[in-house]
């Protein structure tokens, strides 16, 4: 109960959602890259803006009411029309995919790193000694 309280009060739940979102989005980007030569394939993506605004909403809610659930912040799959629609009806954009993948991986690793730091601090507090 103590641990659960510790985990849910700070950024833990938030970071967990960020990691979840980033890994889901990574899978979609991988699918897009895999299908770069498939005729008629439509690029898929998750909206980062919608996710972050939803997260912000939940944080505000937690601040006001004292508790909020951070589950189910995953957005639904979108089919953005960006880049050029090629003759094989595939709207690929390799540069866009590469940038998205790099940004997304960085976001994921940042969240993981922050989580790790948090766990370390918690560990430190539990052991009552500095590692």
Partner 1 sequence: MFDSLDISASALLAQRTRMDTIAGNIANMNTTRNTRGEAVPYRRRFAVFASGRPDAPGKVGVSVAKIEIDRGPFRKEYQPSHPDADKEGYVSYPNVDLAVEYVNALEASRAYEANVTAMEVSKAMMNASLRLLA
Residues that bind partner 1 (CB under 8 A): 19, 22-23, 26-27, 29-31, 33-39, 41, 94, 97-98, 101-102, 105, 108-109, 112-113, 115-116, 119
Specify the residue, 71 or 113, whose C-beta has the smaller distance to partner 1: 113
Q: Nearest approach, Cβ of 105 to partner 1 (angstroms)? A: 5
Cβ proximity to partner 1, 68 vs 114, nearer residue: 114
Q: Smaller CB distance to partner 1: residue 39 or 56?
A: 39
Residue from 82, 79, 86 nearest 37 by CA: 86
- Reduced to 3 states, what is the DSSP secondary structure of residue 45? strand
Least distance (Å) between residue 77 CB and partner 1:
11
Exposed e or buried b per residue across 7-26, where buried means at least 16 C-beta atoms within 10 angstroms of its C-beta = eeeeebbbbbbbbbbbeebb
For the CB of residue 67, give the shortest distance to partner 1 in the complex, in Å.
25
Q: Are 39 and 88 in contact (CB under 8 A)?
A: yes
3 versus 67: smaller Cβ distance to partner 1 = 3
CB-based contact 47:100 (threshold 8 Å): no
């Amino acid at each position: 109960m103590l641990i659960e309280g510790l985990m849910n009060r700070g950024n833990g739940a938030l970071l967990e959602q960020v990691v979840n979102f980033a890994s889901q989005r990574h899978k979609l980007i991988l699918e897009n890259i895999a299908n770069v030569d498939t005729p008629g394939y439509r690029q898929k993506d998750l909206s980062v803006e919608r996710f972050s605004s939803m997260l912000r909403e939940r944080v505000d809610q937690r601040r006001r009411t004292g508790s909020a659930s951070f589950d189910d912040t995953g957005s639904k799959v979108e089919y953005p029309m960006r880049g050029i629609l090629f003759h094989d009806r595939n709207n690929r954009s390799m540069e866009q995919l590469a940038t998205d993948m790099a940004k997304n991986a960085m976001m994921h690793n940042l969240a993981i790193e922050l989580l790790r730091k948090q766990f370390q601090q918690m560990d430190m507090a539990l052991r009552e000694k500095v590692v």
